[in-house]
């Protein structure tokens, strides 16, 4: 098996060092860039399996790099994990909406770094469930064709919007979605949904799911996700 290649874009030498050391020890092929421009050019030329992208970079910042990677046909699906400072929730939200896959908040432990990198690589290579495929996760079964949800085999009655929110999150377990992304995904022609009302939908959804409601997790300051198995 060829080594998975990871590009780190980070201008702080000590963090670069920490990330490089730990990823190399896990057997990843690590390449580095210390500016946004260099990151973009190495992403293009080296085709990494994943990009670890610091948001606070001089000149071309991480959000701009993220945006440009997503605008490039060859890199539109390249997994991107942002490195962010604590308290930068608005940047995390912006990054996710620009197409980043996940984020790690500094300071982070090597354990968290490796776990997150593995999870994103694994999710990236998994074939996503199609729109009409029945999902079975934890003790929850979601059947989009029949608009039916079962928890422990028992049907749960959800509104149209609650169903759409649940289905959207559960199709990609472990991924964090912002309120805006959820609104964008579930808005129907006759169902105006606002970012605030997503919170209301989630409350209703959790209540109706009973014990399984805990799988619908709040990611504080950022959005929501359905817990991975």
Both tokens assigned to 10 = 């980070």
Instruction: Using CB under 5 A, count the residues that bind Ca ion.
Output: 4
Query: Which is nearer to Ca ion, 70 or 106 (by Cβ)?
Result: 106
Among 5, 11, 61, 129, binds Ca ion (CB under 5 A): 11
- If one asks whether residue 91 binds Ca ion (CB under 5 A), the answer comes out as no
For residues 33 and 78, which CB has a smaller minimum distance to Ca ion in the complex? Answer: 33
Q: How many CA atoms lie within 13 A of 146 on its CB side?
A: 11
Apex 225 CA angle, 61 and 63, nearest 5: 5
How buried is residue 106: exposed, middle or buried, by Cβ count under 10 Å (0-12/13-18/19+)? middle
- Applying CB under 5 A, which part among 10-18, 20-28, 33-41, 148-156 lies near Ca ion? 10-18
- Relative to beta strand 140-143, strand 148-151 is antiparallel
- Piece of the chain touching Ca ion by CB under 5 A; list 9-17, 26-34, 142-150, 168-176: 9-17
Length of the chain, in residues: 229
- Specify the residue for token string 């990677």: 69
Stretch binding Ca ion (CB under 5 A), from 5-13, 17-25, 59-67, 211-219: 5-13
Between 53 and 82, how does the x/- string for binding to Ca ion read (CB under 5 A)? -x-x--------------------------
Nearer to Ca ion, 66 or 149 (CB): 66
Question: Which range in 4-12, 42-50, 87-95, 157-165 contacts Ca ion by CB under 5 A?
Answer: 4-12
Binding site for Ca ion (CB under 5 A): 11-12, 54, 56
């Amino acid at each position: 098996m060829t080594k998975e290649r990871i590009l780190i874009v980070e201008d702080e030498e000590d963090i670069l060092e920490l990330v490089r050391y730990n990823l190399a020890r896990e057997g990843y092929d690590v390449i580095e860039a210390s500016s946004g421009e260099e990151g973009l050019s190495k992403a293009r030329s080296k085709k990494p399996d994943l990009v670890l992208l610091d948001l606070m970079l001089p000149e071309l910042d991480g959000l701009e790099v993220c945006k440009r990677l997503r605008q490039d046909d060859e890199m539109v699906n390249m997994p991107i994990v942002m490195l962010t400072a604590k308290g930068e929730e608005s940047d995390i939200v912006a990054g996710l909406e620009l197409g980043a896959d996940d984020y790690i908040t500094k300071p982070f432990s090597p354990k968290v770094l490796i776990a997150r990198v593995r999870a994103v690589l694994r999710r990236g290579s998994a074939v996503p469930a199609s729109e009409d495929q029945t999902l079975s996760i934890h003790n929850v079964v979601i059947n989009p064709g029949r608009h039916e949800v079962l928890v422990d085999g028992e049907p749960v009655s959800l509104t149209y919007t609650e169903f759409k929110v649940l289905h959207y999150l559960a199709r990609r377990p472990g991924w964090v979605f912002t309120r805006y992304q959820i609104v964008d995904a579930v808005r129907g022609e006759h169902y105006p949904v606002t970012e605030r009302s997503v919170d209301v939908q989630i409350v209703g959804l959790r209540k109706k799911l009973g014990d399984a409601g805990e799988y619908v997790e709040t990611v504080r300051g950022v959005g929501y996700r359905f817990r991975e198995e």
